[in-house]
Amino acid sequence: MDNLKIFVIKYEKNVCLGGFGDRIVGLIAVKLISKILKGKFYILWEKENITKYLNYKKYDYKLLEHTEKDIKVYHLIDKPLKLKEYLINSTKLFPNRVNEFILNQEISQYIYKNILYDDKNYLLDIFSEYKKLYTDILIPNIIFNKKVENLVSNKTNIVGIQIRCGDFYMITNPGENYQNNITNFIKILSNIKNKCEEKYKNNYNIFFTTDNINLLQDVYNMFDKTQIIYNNDLIQHLDRNSIDDDISKTFIDNYILSQKTEMLFIDPNSNFGRIAALSSIHNNIYNTYDIKVVDKKKLLSKAELLF
């Protein structure tokens, strides 16, 4: 093994890490830090077996033969500021050989404020990494692609709509109270429909994803049923005990939003929607609630953003 430092994003069993969107925010942050420091980036995904759907062999830490003992673990769940001053001011960042991160926040921005790396372009670099999410980092396998094709085959002008209602609505989350009561959903759908017809006339399809199955009927009522694409697999929270062994819906829905749409309406408060927009193959991104164009830069961090 060479002497390059190693940076690992860890998804451990029995640790609350957040949903898929939260995890990808942390993954991209660690990958970007590794890139700036000219290290090697790896993924240690132990909490679920996602290799049934997505291949990350290129970055799989388990495939690395090593006996390293010089390891430091940074536990930073919901702590975006814990390393801020260190990343900005230290001239000897991460002295350990192996650096493992349990992280769901965008902290890579701070290293770009360090005088040693202030010649680097943060926005150019992080947008570039997000664009690689499904082409270089998490690559769909044959089973995954078949599921996707079963949903979108022969569908053109796909418009993605993502609504985040809260953990309260998922059957994997008994007893949770977080909910976003959407009282004007019909009006929201009507505005989206007007936007779609303005661009595509009647020649478009709607891919809908949400954590609240009760909204699906409203979508069917608003659009022609033949236009609706919906993944009927069970809605589950990635960070809770699964009820169905097939947890592919989370990944497939995000992939379709990101890679198979031509226009995308997201909930900007949801990391699930944010990472789909940031990794999207297009820039036609709108706020689901007010139908305004979304500035992708504002999707990079829910906490502070210095750029």
Domain hosting residue 134, numbered range: 6-140
Same domain, 170 and 295: yes
Q: Would you place residue 173 in the very low, low, confident or very high pLDDT band (cuts 50, 70, 90)? A: low
pTM for the complete prediction? 0.95
Residue 145, pLDDT score: 97
61 and 152 both lie in a single domain: no
Residue that finishes a domain, picked among 82, 117, 140: 140
- Final residue in a domain of this structure, among 110, 140, 170: 140
Q: Are residues 154 and 82 in the same domain?
A: no
Band the pLDDT of 245: cuts 50, 70, 90: confident
Which has the closest alpha carbon to 239: 8, 3, 19? 19
Based on the fold, state whether residues 197 and 228 are members of the same structural domain: yes
Same domain, 88 and 206: no
Residues 190 and 99 both lie in one domain:
no
- d(Cα 91, Cα 110) in Å, to the nearest integer? 13
Indicate the residue among 140, 167, 192 that finishes a domain. Answer: 140
Q: Are residues 112 and 195 in the same domain?
A: no
Is residue 206 included in any domain, yes or no? yes
Q: What is the pLDDT of residue 164?
A: 92
* C-alpha separations of 159 from 132, 216, 264, 286 in Å: 22, 15, 6, 11
The verdict on 161 and 287 lying in the same domain is yes
307 in a structural domain = no
pLDDT digits (tens, 9 = 90+) for 90-117: 999 999 999 999 999 999 999 999 999 9
Residues 121, 150 within the same domain: no
Rounded CA-CA distance 257/266 in Å is: 9
Tens digits of per-residue pLDDT, 12-70? 998 888 999 999 999 999 999 999 999 999 999 999 999 999 999 999 999 988 778 89
Residue 305 resides in a domain = no
Domains in the chain: how many in total?
2
Q: Do 238 and 48 contact (CB within 8 A), yes or no? A: yes
Looking at the structure, tell me whether residues 242 and 284 fall in a common domain. yes
User: Where residue 277 sits, what CATH number does that domain have?
Assistant: 3.40.50.11350
